[in-house]
Amino acid sequence: MDIQFYGANCFSLSYKSTRIVIDDNLNQLGKKSIVKPTDVVLLTNVNDKSERELPGKIIIDCPGEYEVEDISIVGIPARGHIDQADSLLNTMYKITTSDLNLLITGHIFPELNEDQLELIGMNDVLIIPVGGMGYTLDAQGALKIIKEVEPKLVIPAHYAQKDLNYPVPQASLDTVLQELSMEPKEIVPKLKLRSSDLTETTQLIILEP
C-alpha cells in the first residue's frame, strides 16, 4: 500500500487499482482538492456538507460495512472532539487489505468504548490528528488513543502548516513530537508499506505533505 499526506486530515491510500482519499477539505484551507472521479472518498465529519460534492465514484460518510474491490471498510460511529457526550456524529474508518489494518480517527473525542475497541481490533497503522487548540486531538489526547489502540505505526495529521489556513491555528509538529515523546523512525514524502515492514514496537513516521 502507498500512503500520501496532503495536509490537514487529507490522505490517499493506494492499493492495487483502488485509491482511497480521506477528508479532502483542502479547497476550504487554501489548497486544491486532490479527489479524482475514480477515487473512493471517505469523510469522517458528517457536518462538512461541502465535501459531499467531491467528484469521487464512491463517497462514504457514515458508519457501516463496505467492500471496495479487495478492501474492507468499516465505518465506526464516534463522538466528535467538540461534541456532547451522547453525540456520535463522526465516523472512524477501519480499512483492511489482505495484509494490513488501518484506522483513520478524524476529529474524535479521546475516549473509546469497548464496542469501538472491539470493532477496531488489531491495528497496524493509526492515522490521527494532533494539532489540538480545542479543535481536535492534541498530543495528550492522541497519546491516549495510541495506548488504547496499540498500533504498530502512527502517522500524525492536522498540525500547523504554513500553506494551510486553518479556522483554528494548530500546534506545530515539533511541539507535538516533544509532548508525545516519540522520535520519528523516518520522514518521507510517500510511504510504501508492507506488513513485513512493521514491528511489535509502536513506531512513528512523518509524511511530508
Single out the residue of 102, 53, 93, 55 nearest to residue 73, CA to CA.
Answer: 93
Q: All 3 cell numbers of residue 156?
A: 500524525
pLDDT score, position 52: 60
pLDDT of 22: 97
- Closest alpha carbon to 78 in 128, 139, 26, 25: 128
pLDDT tens digits for the chain (209 residues)?
999 999 999 999 999 999 999 999 999 999 999 999 999 999 998 665 555 678 899 999 999 999 999 999 999 999 988 888 777 889 999 999 999 999 999 999 999 999 999 999 999 999 999 999 999 999 999 999 999 999 999 999 999 999 999 999 999 999 999 999 889 999 999 999 999 999 989 999 999 98
Domains of the chain from N-terminus onward: 2-207 (3.60.15.10)
| pLDDT given for residue 48 in this prediction | 56
One-letter amino acid of 142: A
Give the phi and the psi of residue 18 in degrees, each rounded to 5: -110, 135
Rounded Cα gap, residues 191 and 2, in angstroms:
6
Contact 39, 59 (CB under 8 A): no
Asked whether the whole model's pTM tops 0.85, one would answer: yes
> Going by DSSP bridges, is the β-strand pair 2-7/125-129 parallel, antiparallel, or unpaired?
unpaired
Say if CB 203 and CB 155 are below 8 A apart.
no
User: Tell me, what's the pLDDT at 84?
Assistant: 80
Q: Report helix, strand or coil for 22.
A: strand
In the 8-state DSSP scheme, what is residue 148?
H
Q: Bridge-partner residues for 73, per DSSP?
A: 66, 95
Q: Which DSSP letter does residue 208 get?
A: P
Cα–Cα nearest to 45, from 83, 7, 85, 1: 83
